[in-house]
A and B are shown apart, each in its own frame.
Chain A
């Protein structure tokens, strides 16, 4: 199966290049689609300077910032345009260790969708750890969706199920919405344990994003 790695990047000039280089080392056949989401820093320039001649790295960008969910969708469309049969998403800030990519690909041969999960130990900031636990617990209790780590962005799926899990979220919340779509459509999934790496306390999802996601859950449940 032809798998592409999709990496959304936003203001990661210090980390994006290193992340892509590490992914490239993992598998010599893997192609990577990097989408810069209208960064204010030099992320796009750094990416182009380092990978413009590399045929395995496809770089694109949003003219303005649209959010993670929208960037993932753009990356996905590019991957499908280039013939991908499946995609694996990884964050551009290096919080997902590429050493787990072969495991994701292996699982994708057995299941239509594969989610990563982190052991929410003391490495994770208090609010994120407990917020994630609460979200996972509520999804399990109220919606019968049993996921170990609801908010993990390291995930992959086959092209054939995209229509069933197509998301509306343009910003954070895409992982939760996807979990709901998987539950609604009763799609079998697998989970792969990954490292718990939190790089920046203030970047990424905040408590306010989590609250917005909670408010959106009922609407996602209605919109099938």
Chain B
């Protein structure tokens, strides 16, 4: 796979994700802030996919050989951040569900039977 093919694949992926994001925004599944944040991320992604050479000064600064490597490092950093955020949110949701279920369960019982 040469660089042009890879660029087409990345571009297609980013456009598909942007369209999916747009549909969710139209259906009001996501807030404006969420939509704009991810739109910005995918626009940057598209820009970098089209003009990877723009990263070359940064590669030299970080002693990284290929653009792909910096892409992988960036991806891992973003995925780690998202995983931690998701983990925290799931834990909070679990706690809220537990409290709610317990409140209903205990609430059914009258003080003196």
Contacts and interface: CB of A to CB of B under 8 A. Distances in A.
Contact of B105 (A55, A74, A83, A170): A74
Main secondary structure of the interface of B (DSSP, over half): helix
Interface string B92-113: 0010011001101110110111
B104 A66 contact: no
A78 B109 contact: yes
A58 B109 contact: yes
Interface in A66-97: 66, 70, 73-74, 77-78, 81-83
Given A60-B108, A64-B97, A74 B113 contact: no
A66 B97 CA distance: 9
Contacts of A81: 106, 109, 111
Contact-size category for A: 10 to 19
A62 B99 CA distance: 11
B36 to A, nearest CB: 35
A66 B101 contact: yes
Contacts of A61: 105
Main secondary structure of the interface of A (DSSP, over half): mixed
B102 A77 contact: yes
B113 A63 contact: no
A74 B101 CA distance: 9
A7 interface: no
B103 to A, nearest CB: 9
Contacts of B98: 66, 70, 170
A74 B31 CA distance: 36
A176 to B, nearest CB: 19
A35 interface: yes
B109 A62 contact: no
Nearest to B102: A74
Interface string B66-105: 0000000000000000000000000000100110011011
A70 B102 contact: yes
Given A63-B101, A66-B101, A77-B106, 7 more contacts: A62-B101, A64-B97, A70-B98, A70-B101, A70-B102, A81-B106, A170-B98
28 contacts: A58-B113, A60-B105, A60-B106, A61-B105, A62-B101, A62-B102, A62-B105, A63-B101, A63-B104, A63-B105, A64-B97, A64-B101, A66-B97, A66-B98, A66-B101, A66-B102, A70-B98, A74-B101, A74-B102, A74-B105, A74-B106, A77-B102, A78-B106, A78-B109, A81-B109, A82-B109, A82-B112, A82-B113
